[in-house]
A and B are shown apart, each in its own frame.
Chain A
């Protein structure tokens, strides 16, 4: 049977790994390639790299990280940050990425999702949606949480899938870095209209949060803080999930 996935997320700013709270107050958390090597040794299911600055310099650094990581780490790599065109997608795939995450560009037009899926296959395209609660409503944000869009959440999720996205990454900005658990209300709302695998992101602080999200139906759980801060790692995460009767990857 298909196993549930635990995906460490590495945020990059100027080539360095960072972590923040609610998409702000980022602090340096080390070297991305070193961290990737450790995750690889711990048999992480996948790795996700996101360039939060998406500037010219940041892109170069991220490409370099992917090139190095893909030479030694033989698991799926997803890369995102400032992807706006098929040329961007091609650039990341050539560097060694298997999947490309598209978030902000898709809030402006679904064309990059559509063209990307057509040219490279839906399995290459992960559509990201960043959500913050404003006046008790879930609102779609772009530009790393800086800009509130006018998009209606469910309509946007439907459109992303119609355009050909192979997976959805749903991130709660409110819960990000808070280590108090995923926003399962948000997840269930998305789940009601999802036709592709959904990865939940934002808020994991304890392995029980991963259990809760998976039992609510998430196909995969993305996490950063839970691994960065403390001595938790993917091996312990898998063990914890297994003890809660969740099927996880068998490596040995």
Chain B
């Protein structure tokens, strides 16, 4: 069973619509029992890093998320959900993240380009990954964010150019994080979600 994490900080409906459109079923939950039983876990996210982490802490979800990640089952963070996979977020002060992928979330260092980074942009994939099969190079995905995941190259599965090259996809073992919104990225995004749902977490 695919679990979509409900922690008060995500656009759940769009993601569940996409999953159902693809012919899969999912459960939206914040129950540790449901999460630990799931085959796949998706962490959506819209809003701010501190608010998201606060919501997770209040619901006491950190242990079950860590257990899920450690079990090797596929876990995907979307947008803010990807950002909180990091160790620290620097939006409105310093906030400790989930620490599932090394790195920090910082303000997008574009000098003369406006923020937020809004619109369709493409990815430079740095290595092959099961979640990116059958997705042609150069396809655009929908981004809307002002902060980005700063990490070392070994975890930056893909980068995107917006004045600077920032990590648009981060990956470590069975954990994947995408800065863009696949549920808002039409065919390319649906393909990515489908690949994730078909993935067993192995690289």
Contacts and interface: CB of A to CB of B under 8 A. Distances in A.
A4 B113 CA distance: 14
Contacts of B140: 3, 249-251
Contacts of B146: 122-123
Contacts, number: 101
A124 to B, nearest CB: 7
Given A122-B116, A124-B46, A250-B139, A96 B184 contact: no
Given A123-B144, A123-B145, A197 B118 contact: yes
B138 interface: yes
Contact of A74 (B113, B115, B190): B190
Contacts of B115: 195-196
A72 B21 contact: yes
Contacts of A3: 119-121, 140
Contacts of A251: 139-140, 186-188
Interface string B12-42: 0110011001000000000000000000000
B21 A196 contact: no
B47 A121 contact: yes
Q: Give the interface centre of A5, A45, A166, A251 by most chain B CB atoms within 10 Å.
A: A251
B122 interface: yes
Given A3-B119, A120-B46, A75 B142 contact: yes
B17 A219 contact: no
A interface SS class: loop
Given A1-B161, A194-B114, A220 B119 contact: yes
A43 interface: yes
Interface string B146-189: 10000000000000011000000000000000000101111111
B11 interface: yes
B11 A195 contact: no
A205 to B, nearest CB: 24
Given A2-B162, A98-B11, A123 B118 contact: yes
B73 interface: no
Contacts of B11: 93, 98
A2 B119 CA distance: 7
Contacts of A72: 21
Contact of A2 (B46, B121, B185, B189): B121
Interface string A45-78: 1000000000000000000000000111011100
Given A2-B162, A197-B114, A219-B118, A74 B46 contact: no
B117 A2 contact: yes
Nearest to B9: A121
A87 to B, nearest CB: 16
A252 B11 CA distance: 26
Most buried by A among B115, B116, B118, B142: B118
Nearest to A73: B186
Contact of B118 (A93, A94, A166, A252): A166
A74 B119 contact: no
Given A71-B17, A194-B114, A250 B121 contact: no
Contacts of A45: 119-120
B48 interface: yes
15 contacts: A3-B119, A5-B120, A70-B13, A71-B17, A74-B183, A75-B184, A76-B184, A93-B11, A120-B46, A122-B146, A123-B46, A220-B119, A250-B140, A251-B188, A252-B136
Given A196-B116, A251-B188, A252-B187, 14 more contacts: A1-B122, A3-B119, A5-B120, A70-B13, A71-B17, A74-B190, A75-B185, A75-B186, A76-B142, A96-B14, A123-B46, A123-B118, A195-B115, A251-B140
The 10 closest A-B pairs by CB, nearest first: A249-B120, A123-B144, A3-B120, A249-B140, A2-B121, A121-B47, A250-B140, A197-B118, A71-B17, A2-B119
